[in-house]
Amino acid sequence: MKKRFWLFPVLLALLLVAAQCAGGATPQATQAPPATEEAMATEEAPATEEAVATEEVAAGPELAKELYVFNWADYIDEELLTMYEEETGVKIIYDTFDSNEDLLAKLQAGATGYDVIFPSDYMVAQMIELGLLAELDLNNIPNFQYVADFNKNPAYDPGNKYSVPYFWGTTGIGYDTSVVDPPPDSWAWIFDPEVACQYQDGGINVLDDERELIGAALKYLGYSVNDTDEAHLNEARDVILAAKPCWKTFDSSGYIDNLMIPGEIVLTHGWNGDVFVAAAENENWAYVMPKEGGVVWQDNFAIPASSTRKATAEHFINWLLDPEHNAQNTNYVWYASPVEAAKEFIDPEILEDPAIYLDEETLSRLEWIEPLPGDALAIWDRVWTEIKAQ
């Protein structure tokens, strides 16, 4: 008998036509893989549903042409932004803010353009409460799997419904070891005029940050950084006003540069990574946690509820959580990364520094800043206005 080789292709073609007429989707079409580097920015709708499925398999989500990113100053390796733009075709419009309160004020004033923002712990809670954040779809952020347990599921956002950790760190004192002698071991170096004013000519900087500066003064006085007692807050104000004439600058966003300029600043209230970045340039800089204790904090990626580019924002967050991208960022900003899998790519000098990756003893002396109830917030705001006005 003659073998009918022609019959098999004809039957296969008939079966495929029948399947298409029945509208059946292929299994692959429903399983979108992680985005690839080929993902291209486009707002044009593909011609057919089949085209959507094929594109998702090949390229991940459809990306917007632009992404508006609003971060703290000096808080990303900008080379990563260029890499992301080149790999995806998405243009990043990048801007910075000075404090959590500054970020909140911009969003509350109706700023609607931002897609990715970086609030700290207590501000995430406050923004959730105010309905300012979009819920995240962690399926779109598969690199979240690499976040360490220590950094996941925080009290300010249980289940990471609205935020994903970016970096974590502490607030203490930076000082120029060639000038400040003996080394500071207390907030007195910032708040006691008898001590601080000795360094007035060298230059003292404090963070221009309501919760951080008043919080540090409260710590100096032996209170909690979350104190709501009006008498204690007035006491903290008076301590700050007495030391203020000896301070040169209130600066949270340009102070790293000033630490690197000889003769500008010799003592600063500051965030650990910022001081370590200065120390990488000028080895005279050192960082210390005062004996009274200070603040431990975690900054986060979040997406404003008003963002119209949520899929692209999640794609960008996921890209920055990639262990190698994340390590490149860590090696630039000198803060502790929450991404466990990035550790193999992080400089040992950063990884092994107990003032960056904290030991238990240091952690036990630190406090998290917490959201304040409305009536206490009003007292804090009044005290801050009085501090800045004089």
Q: How many CB atoms lie within 10 A of CB 371?
A: 19
Residue 224 forms beta bridges with which residues?
A: none
Closest approach of ligand SPD to the CB of residue 191, in Å: 18
Task: Sort residue 333 into left (φ over 0), alpha (ψ -120 to 50) or beta.
Answer: alpha
Q: Is 282 helix (H, G, I), strand (E, B) or coil?
A: coil
Report residue 46 CA to chain centroid gap.
35
Report the residue number whose CB is nearest to ligand SPD: 72
Closest approach of ligand SPD to the CB of residue 206, in Å: 14
Closest approach of ligand SPD to the CB of residue 165, in Å: 12
**Residue placing its CB nearer to ligand SPD in the complex, 120 or 318:** 120
What are the angstrom distances between the C-alpha of 20 and each of 9, 16, 45? 17, 6, 21
Q: Is 47 helix (H, G, I), strand (E, B) or coil?
A: coil
**Phi and psi at residue 174, to the nearest 5°:** -105, 145
Closest approach of ligand SPD to the CB of residue 276, in Å: 11
What are the angstrom distances between the C-alpha of 305 and each of 110, 112, 135, 341? 11, 9, 8, 30
Decide: residue 41, CB within 10 A, 0-12 exposed, 13-18 middle, 19+ buried. Answer: middle
**Residue placing its CB nearer to ligand SPD in the complex, 247 or 271:** 271
Separation of alpha carbons 138 and 315, rounded Å:
11
Separation of alpha carbons 175 and 160, rounded Å:
36
Contact residues toward ligand SPD (CB under 6 A) are: 72-75, 120, 212, 271, 274, 297, 299, 369
**Phi and psi at residue 245, to the nearest 5°:** -60, -20
Closest approach of ligand SPD to the CB of residue 72, in Å: 4
DSSP state of 75: -
**Residue placing its CB nearer to ligand SPD in the complex, 138 or 280:** 280
Closest approach of ligand SPD to the CB of residue 353, in Å: 17
**Residue placing its CB nearer to ligand SPD in the complex, 29 or 73:** 73
- HSE at residue 229, side-chain half, CA atoms within 13 A, is 10
Closest approach of ligand SPD to the CB of residue 118, in Å: 8
User: What beta strand segments (E) does 143-258 contain?
Assistant: 164-176, 204-206, 249-250
Separation of alpha carbons 133 and 125, rounded Å:
10
Closest approach of ligand SPD to the CB of residue 338, in Å: 13
**Residue placing its CB nearer to ligand SPD in the complex, 71 or 312:** 71
Separation of alpha carbons 215 and 210, rounded Å:
8
Token digits of residue 244: 């203020």
Closest approach of ligand SPD to the CB of residue 78, in Å: 13
**Residue placing its CB nearer to ligand SPD in the complex, 55 or 367:** 367
**Residue placing its CB nearer to ligand SPD in the complex, 64 or 285:** 285
**Residue placing its CB nearer to ligand SPD in the complex, 216 or 239:** 216
**Residue placing its CB nearer to ligand SPD in the complex, 191 or 276:** 276
